[in-house]
Chain A
Amino acid sequence: MDIIKSVFRPLTQIKGRTSITLVVVEALAALLAWEIFGQHGLIPTPSKIMVAVGRIVTSAYFTDNLFSSLSLTLSGMGISIVLALVVSYLSLIPVFAPVTRFIVKCRYLTLTGLIFLFTLLTQDGHQLKLSLLIFGIVPFFVTSLLSIIDSINTQEYDLCKTLRMNHWQTLLEVVIVGRLDQVFEVMRQNFAIAWMMITMVEGLSMSEGGLGTMLIKSNKYIDLSTVFAILVIIFGLGIFFDYLLKQMRYWLFPYTKIEKRS
């Protein structure tokens, strides 16, 4: 009884078991409602979607498509983070600061207008997809990284000075090594953007397949249960990678797991 009361009281801390139960119950309720009231609607019901998921996952072409999407995302993310890091670190050297500021503003450029240019500049579909992906992610990465650098307490630089570090050692200690865990966190948060963009760029060059290609093809045939099934798969994979990156962060930087005291 107390438990039931507590879940309705504002600003109440609930324990792990209770919160998991809440999630499960609410999700089941939503799915059940969908199943019952969605029988004659346009949107396929969960049971039909799950059947489609099962069919897709066991089909021969699924692994190829999945692998294609994953390898594209991972290589895009990898290259982007390296580029973004270089750009962000360079922003601390006055000569390079204007360039960095420009790149950050590129968030507001829309990719669609540049697709033609990129098509001319790149040699094949793979390169086109990769460069669009990178061009799309880097400004977001740089923005997040710069805000991390901005929020460094100047006292930390003072401490380096009193420990007789020069400017380069200070950069290494405070900005690079000292903030590596937060770089990882930025990667995790922006993985969602990359994952979202992947389906879009895959639609532009379908020769290599991929989850995005699958999505567009099923859309064309108005095969809604397959569309939804692919969405479920994309959603699930996204959540899985989010979790994986979070665990990796704890493992690589154990001090991030320490409960923060204010």
Chain B
Amino acid sequence: MNYTKNEVLLDVKDVSLSYDKPILRDINLTIRNIVRPGLDQGQVVSLIGRSGVGKTQLFKILAGLIQPDTGTIMIGVEQQAVEAGQVGIVPQNYLLFNHRSIHDNLRLAMKHVTLESKEKDALIQDYAVKFDLTEHLKKYPQQLSGGQRQRVSIIQQVLTGNRFILLDEPFSGLDALMIDKVMDLLGRVATLHEWNTLVIVSHDVENSLAISDTAFILAREKDKEGATITETLDLIEMGLAWTPGIRENRQFQQVVSQIKHKI
């Protein structure tokens, strides 16, 4: 496959976090801009670990919502320390403002975008058509299904103009068909812009690997407290990235079952 890995977009160094016990230790990871000729290829990275290992905590650290005990998170081509608001988040339960209609929820995300009011509405309309939400724009969040709310949540974050979007368990609670739809949606978001970077935090090995170009395995090592990154998978080098229907591939399935044993 023809691609290069260029400048660093996200650099996590020596991050650790403890509450009464160590949760995370020595987390180091780097995400680089992937360039493919003729494409606006963004990055899709997953952080995979079992339930309770500290994924959500790492998610919040990456989003700048909590400060780690040690370590730094540098973000963007300028490599500045992360601040809340620079990274979009789609939390585990797809939270939206219940007192606003879907349209207004999306509009709120564009407060800082410099566009005319009409252009903003047109943009929302655009995304609504693309992602199957036109008939729901006037509804309130509680009138939507979980999957629909998740799509709104993702689009909301795309509309803020953030290049980084973190997603906590984007596949949980969805049926097989919806999972395919979300994967398709994420794939399309990733190719909207060269620098768009999706970080998926999940315990769902199969689906996370299927759309990622890189995967980090978060686990506890024997006799050590606190989770760290025990393995990095370069799915592009393995020839398993950017391939629709990869879940049927034998080699892919082998990798999935290996990883399942490791977490």
Contacts and interface: CB of A to CB of B under 8 A. Distances in A.
B124 interface: no
A162 B89 contact: yes
A261 B145 CA distance: 10
A155 B95 contact: yes
Interface in B145-193: 156-157, 160, 162
Interface in B7-51: none
Interface string B87-127: 11101010111110000000011011000000000000000
B47 to A, nearest CB: 18
A114 interface: no
Contact of A255 (B60, B85, B87, B140): B140
B99 A181 contact: yes
B97 to A, nearest CB: 6
B112 A162 contact: no
Contacts of A178: 97-99
B143 interface: yes
Chain B contact-residue range equals: 20 to 34
A162 B85 contact: yes
Nearest to A173: B97
Nearest to A165: B111
A21 to B, nearest CB: 32
A261 B142 contact: yes
A162 B87 contact: yes
Contacts of B157: 162
A11 interface: no
Interface residues of A, number: 22
A180 B99 contact: yes
B63 interface: yes
B97 A161 contact: no
Contacts of A20: none
A163 B95 contact: no
Given A158-B65, A164-B111, A165-B111, A255 B91 contact: no
Given A177-B99, A260-B142, A158 B109 contact: no
B77 interface: no
Nearest to B89: A162
A249 to B, nearest CB: 13
A252 to B, nearest CB: 11
Contacts of B129: none
B99 A162 contact: no
A163 B142 contact: no
Contacts of A261: 142
Interface in A144-185: 153, 155-156, 158-159, 161-165, 173-174, 177-178, 180-181
Contact of A164 (B63, B65, B112, B156): B112
17 contacts: A158-B65, A161-B65, A162-B89, A163-B111, A163-B156, A163-B160, A164-B85, A164-B160, A173-B108, A174-B97, A177-B99, A180-B99, A181-B99, A255-B98, A255-B140, A258-B142, A258-B143
Given A158-B63, A162-B157, 9 more contacts: A155-B91, A156-B97, A158-B91, A159-B96, A162-B160, A164-B160, A173-B108, A174-B97, A255-B98
Q: Would you list the 5 A-B pairs with minimal beta carbon distance, nearest first?
A: A161-B84, A164-B85, A255-B140, A258-B142, A178-B99
Interface of A: 153, 155-156, 158-159, 161-165, 173-174, 177-178, 180-181, 253-255, 258, 260-261
